[in-house]
Structure formats: C-alpha cells, structure tokens
Structure 1
C-alpha cells in the first residue's frame, strides 16, 4: 500500500510542477493564453496519475488487489504508458509554444504518443482483471465467514 501512496504523491508533485512549468514557459516565450499540450499536462498528471492511484489505494485497502500478477502488469504497464504519454505531451507542447508544427516535424511524435495511450489501455485492462479476481476472492471469504457463523438449531 505504501508503494501506491508514494506513486500517487509523485504524480501529484509532477502535476503541480507541470502547471508551474507551463505558466512560466508561456511567459518566457510570450505565448500566454495559447493552447498547447502543456496547458493540459497538469490535469493529465493529477487525474491519470495521482487520482487513479488514490482510487487503487482505496481498493487495496478494501479488497486486496495488489497480490496478483495482473496487478503487477497494471502497475508497471500503466506507469510506463503514462510516462510516455506525458513526455510526448511535453515535447508536443514545447514545440507548439515555440512556433513549430509538431505534426509536421516528425511522425514519431504522434506514433510514440499513441504507444503511450495503448500501454495505458493495457494497464487499465490488467487492473480490471485484478479487480475481478479480488471481488471473487472477497465474495468467497464472505461466503466462508457466513457459513462458519451459522448456529445449529436447538
């Protein structure tokens, strides 16, 4: 559970820092108010990073989801996908604020960003596989606990 808390905290710090970076970078380049990928970076980090891992932390506290292979697949795949997505957002945002057209510079930018989104999707599917198993285990524990609490008539 501590790993989930630390992961959530790291994404919170990155989310707050990315908002500060966007504000200061747009001031520096004289592009205040222009839309770019940098303007939504802090929201992506706070929601897809901090908030998702806080929800998973709550699920762990109630259903014990972390002991499964599918959870490990979720944790690492999701984190790698989010990091790739965020890095590509930074690259694209900086290029946009510098006056370049990111789609015209290279096809690698949208391709790598797409890979990040695919890894996020695989990670989320793995999370649901882990949740399904945790729900089944939880129901089984509840059934066994109910069976042992029955009192013989008489």
Structure 2
C-alpha cells in the first residue's frame, strides 16, 4: 500500500509541475494562446491516470487486498506505471516540438501507442487480480464472522 501511496504522491507532484511547465514554456516561446499543443494535456494525464487512479487502487487494495496475488499486483503496478510515464513523456516531447515550431515524427506517435498499450495491459492485469481478490473475499468475510 505504501508503494501505491508514494507513486500517487509523485504523480501529483509531476502533474502540478507539468501544468506549470506548460504555462511557462508556451509564454517563454510566444506560443499563441488558445492554440492546441499536447503540453496542455500532460498535467491532466498525470493527475488523472497517476494521482487519482492510483488513489482509487489504494482504496481497492485496502478493501480487497489485491496484492494477495503478488505477481499479478507487481505486473499491474509496473506495466501501468511504465505506460503512464511513456505516454506522458511522448506528450511532452510532441507538445514541446509543436511549441518550438518543429516537425514531429511518426515515431513519437508509435512510442505513445506503446505507452497506451502498457496502460491497457496493466488495467487488464489489475482486473484479473481484483476478480481473484473479490472471489476470495466472501470466504474471508464468513471466516471473520465465524470467529466473532
């Protein structure tokens, strides 16, 4: 649980920093206000996918102890976080190129796609672990009731 809390906190800090970077980098480079750049969505990706989702997973962990399947939980945690980091890094790279007036490449989109695939794979593993934990939960609840 501590790992989830720490990761969530780090994403909160990164999300806030990404918002500040977006505002200051676009001003510094005289980027037209209101024109789209992917830098504008980095902070929401980090805050939503990192900070908020991991806080929700922390609550789910507290209730269902999904880490009871440690290998599944580790796969979820690392796949998901690698995906969020890769996706966010590509948003920053592509957005920075846009602000600087430079040409982007298909490679950036391809790598961002890999990041999204890792996020999706992590969520699938999360639900497999959650399903196992929920299936085991009634046995735990009845055992606790019998002990009381």
TM-score (norm 1): 0.90
Deviant stretches of 4+, over 4 Å? none
Aligned with 1:101 (options 94, 100, 103):
103
- Is the Cα contact below 8 Å between 2:68 and 2:133 reproduced in 1? no
In the alignment, is residue 114 of structure 1 matched against residue 113 of structure 2?
Answer: yes
- Is the Cα contact below 8 Å between 1:34 and 1:97 reproduced in 2? no
What RMSD, in angstroms, separates the aligned Cα atoms of the two structures?
A: 1.4
| Structure 1 residues 3-82: aligned runs within 5 Å | 3-31=3-31, 32-68=33-69, 69-82=71-84
CA distance in 1, matches of 2:53, 2:82: 14
CA distance in 2, matches of 1:149, 1:83: 45
Unmatched 5+ stretches in structure 1: none
When Rg is computed on C-alpha atoms for both structures, the one with the higher figure is 1
Paired residue for 1:140? Answer: 139
- Is the Cα contact below 8 Å between 1:65 and 1:131 reproduced in 2? yes
- Is the Cα contact below 8 Å between 1:8 and 1:49 reproduced in 2? yes
Larger mean Cα displacement after TM superposition, 24-33 or 43-52: 24-33
CA distance in 1, matches of 2:91, 2:29: 17
Residue deviations 1:116-145 (CA, integer Å, cap 9, x gap) = 000000000000011001101111112334
Unmatched 5+ stretches in structure 2: none
Aligned to 1:35, what secondary structure does the other structure show?
coil
